[in-house]
Amino acid sequence: MRMRDAYREQMDALNALLGEMCDTVGAEMERATQALLEADLELAEQVITDHDQLAERSAEAEELAFELLALQAPVAGDLRSVVGGFQLVSEIDRMGALALHVAKVARRRHPSRVLPEEVAGYFVEMGRLAVELARNAHQVLESQDYEDALSLMEDDDAMDDLHRHLFTVMMDRDWEHGVASAVDVTLLGRYYERYADHAVSIARRVVFQATGKTPEQLKEAG
């Protein structure tokens, strides 16, 4: 097999594994959100227990990236893609860690429901968006299409809007659920917002890998 073909095959394998990891963190957040909304201790424990599998996949992805560096000696754009692979592993790991945080909040407050009725609907939608962003991140990693990546970045706006509106509910003088509840809701809102931010970071890195430019530079170029 020619060196270029070997590089392409290994790079495709790395991107496929990263895509599978996106599916994993999407499933983690979906289950964590359900555990949060339904005060489901068993489901929260499942997210916490299964999280170790993500660490194993991360180690596998990093090993693939190291092999690409050591065996293929990539240069220029290829080197950019391999180095970006390490950064993508980190972004996906952080998404998984945030889903884990959500599950731990649900476990800590069990058997009580964490979310007051006034804000539960926000988290239904934030959870849905989080799973969709993870799914779209997988698609972007598979296609390596910078236009798909730019579209994912736009999807983050809806999560930011929900996060802002969530604060207006908590700051209302009619809020009657106390400080502890407000702290839980604030932290949870931040977890979902950061989860979306990491999905956007994945998209940004794919844009750079595909074009050698940041999204801002592409926009300036027209």
| Helical spans, DSSP H, in 68-177 | 76-109, 117-143, 146-171
DSSP string computed for 185-198: HHHHHHHHHHHHHH
Copy the structure tokens of residue 17.
Answer: 């594994």
Q: 3-state DSSP helix/strand/coil percent for the chain, to nearest 5?
A: 90, 0, 10
Angle at 103 between CA 102 and CA 107, to 5 degrees: 120
Write out pLDDT tens, residues 193-215. 999 999 999 999 999 888 888 88
- Return the CATH fold of 3-221: Methane Monooxygenase Hydroxylase; Chain G, domain 1 (1.20.58)
Confidence of residue 80 (pLDDT cuts 50, 70, 90): confident
Query: Strand, coil or helix: what is 59?
Result: helix
Q: What are phi and psi of 116, to 5 degrees?
A: -65, 155
Ordered by start, the domain boundaries in the chain are 3-221
Residue 42 — pLDDT band, cuts 50, 70, 90? very high
The count of other CB atoms within 10 Å of the CB of residue 128 is: 14
Provide the pLDDT for residue 2.
65
